Amino acid sequence: MDVVTLSRLQFGATAMYHFIFVPLTLGLGILVAIMETLHYRTKNEIYLKMTKFWGRLFLINFVLGIVTGITLEFQFGTNWAQYSIYVGDIFGAPLAIEATLAFFLESTFLGVWLFGWKRISPKMHLISIWLVAFSSNLSALWILIANAWMQDPVGFVLKNNRAEMTNFAAVVFSPYAWLKFTHTITAGFVVGAFFVMGISAYHLLKKQNVEFFKKSFYIAATFGMISSLLVFFIGDMHAAEVAHVQPAKLAAMESFWNTEKAAPIYLLLVPDDAKKSNLVEAFPIPSLLSLLAYHDPNATVRGLNSFPQNDIPPVTPVFLSFRIMVGLGTLFIFLTILAWWFAKKDKLLNHRGFLRIMLYSLPLPYIATQVGWIVAEVGRQPWIVYGLLKTNDAVSKNLTIGDVILTLGIFIILYTALAVLDFTLLTYYARKGPLETD
């Protein structure tokens, strides 16, 4: 293993680990804010209890989200110094703006919300949680603007041996960024919804605090249904954008090797990276790939073999991740519609099998968001900035293999300990049920 591979492992592992916590923050923050709004409007105690119960789980998760995020802010410099020098003129700005606009707001008002129950007016308290929910999503916007620039660099010139920004608006309003942003936050909403539905299902199966968890479930199911539909349709638009700006990534997502007009999608497909073709291709749906990628059944789709062979990503992981993501995304739509319907008709307790499915589905959106990032980032390889800079040329020059092995090792030990602690606390407080409010 060399420094590049180890640094990729470290960045990939720490970023994916960070993204276990982020989507729940995005979705659950809004759900807690909705609950507190319901309490503010109706003065019904049950919504206050809900705010506190789900708020506590939100907080435990949030702590892990911040601590795992700090390392990412610095890893561009520590391990990817050549990258930072090359793109810092553009890439640094959204990161600094994210901290200034979003992180301060988020952390300040989380503190206010948590410690302010008796110190500020109920209205200000409600505003605080909405500011937390809003700013965590705002931070997603800025970091995804930065990430989108790595996928689809815009608004720059190459000058002084680096990329220099010439058009800030082009960077901020890049369509790629906004598709990625909306796709990511709605995915986070789905995570939040399944989290609340899963834990509610657990208690409903045990017939504990039935009213409390039926109401929680209904709010989450409604939110989850809308979000599942949105994430799916935005995902479709996002894939079309990928086809447009990163044709090699799209071809890898579909394991599509040879350029074709009216390209089909094979329901069953086994890629073979080494032979640069597919081992198995069965059950084609004619023209579907052309239709989805270019919204035209006769469009020509470029195959992987039409690109220089050093410029294509590893196909199997990207292809598999994409299939899993799309499959799960489709499943979420069915599950949330059913969940919403049963909750609306107050029939949840009659469908214990369904409740069990919802309980065990809790991890599925997590898997979907993780594989989604594999599609996005592994699919971008071998480029760190698509078409501009290769990952191999981006790493810090002074690092030794020993340095990175040491830090990666500590990360693995530390993050494993954190995962155990987090999981223990979340299950403890989730099982315990709602608190007595004072």
Partner 1 sequence: MLNILWFIIWGLLWAMYFALDGFDLGIGMLFPFFGKTDQDKKTMLESIGPVWDANEVWLITAGGATFAAFPTTYAYMFSFLYLPLMLILYGLIIRAVCLEFRYKVNKPSLVSLLENGLFLGSLLPALLLGVAFGNIFQGLPIDQTGYHGNLITLLNPFGLITGILFVVAFLLHGSLWLSFRTEGDINLRAKALARKLWFITLFFAVLFLVSAYFVTNLYANYFSMPFLLIVPTLCVLGLLGAGFFINSSEIMAFLSSAICIIFLTFTGVGGLYPNLIPSNINNAFSLSAFNSSSSQYTLTVMTVVVIIFVPIVLAYKFWTYKTFSYKIKEGEVEGY
Answer for which of 15, 16, 59, 229 binds partner 1 (CB under 8 A) is 59
Quick one: 179 or 395, whose CB is closer to partner 1?
395
Window of 164-172, 195-203, 313-321, 333-341 that interacts with partner 1 by CB under 8 A = 164-172
Q: Please list every residue from 68 through 107 that binds partner 1, using CB under 8 A.
A: 68, 70-71, 73-74, 76-82, 84-85, 87-93, 95-101, 103-105, 107
Is position 326 an interface residue for partner 1 (rule: CB under 8 A)? no
Answer for which of 410, 431, 432, 435 binds partner 1 (CB under 8 A) is 410
Window of 110-118, 211-219, 332-340, 371-379 that interacts with partner 1 by CB under 8 A = 110-118
Residue 184 φ then ψ, to 5°: -70, -45
Window of 34-42, 162-170, 330-338, 355-363 that interacts with partner 1 by CB under 8 A = 162-170
Is position 388 an interface residue for partner 1 (rule: CB under 8 A)? no
Is position 284 an interface residue for partner 1 (rule: CB under 8 A)? no
Q: What is the rounded CA–CA span in Å between residue 168 and residue 166?
A: 7
Is position 16 an interface residue for partner 1 (rule: CB under 8 A)? no
Window of 157-165, 216-224, 249-257, 293-301 that interacts with partner 1 by CB under 8 A = 157-165
Quick one: 337 or 425, whose CB is closer to partner 1?
425
Window of 220-228, 287-295, 321-329, 394-402 that interacts with partner 1 by CB under 8 A = 394-402
Minimum CB–partner distance for residue 206 and partner 1 (Å): 23
Quick one: 272 or 403, whose CB is closer to partner 1?
403
Is position 405 an interface residue for partner 1 (rule: CB under 8 A)? no
Is position 117 an interface residue for partner 1 (rule: CB under 8 A)? yes
Answer for which of 277, 294, 425, 433 binds partner 1 (CB under 8 A) is 425
Answer for which of 5, 15, 116, 273 binds partner 1 (CB under 8 A) is 116
Q: What is the rounded CA–CA span in Å between residue 9 and residue 15?
A: 10
Window of 34-42, 62-70, 304-312, 381-389 that interacts with partner 1 by CB under 8 A = 62-70
Which residues contact residue 85 at a Cβ distance below 8 angstroms, ignoring those fewer than 6 apart? 162
Is position 345 an interface residue for partner 1 (rule: CB under 8 A)? no
Interacting residues with partner 1 (CB under 8 A): 59-60, 63-64, 66-68, 70-71, 73-74, 76-82, 84-85, 87-93, 95-101, 103-105, 107-112, 114-120, 159-160, 162, 164-166, 168, 396-399, 403, 406-407, 410, 414, 418, 421, 425, 429
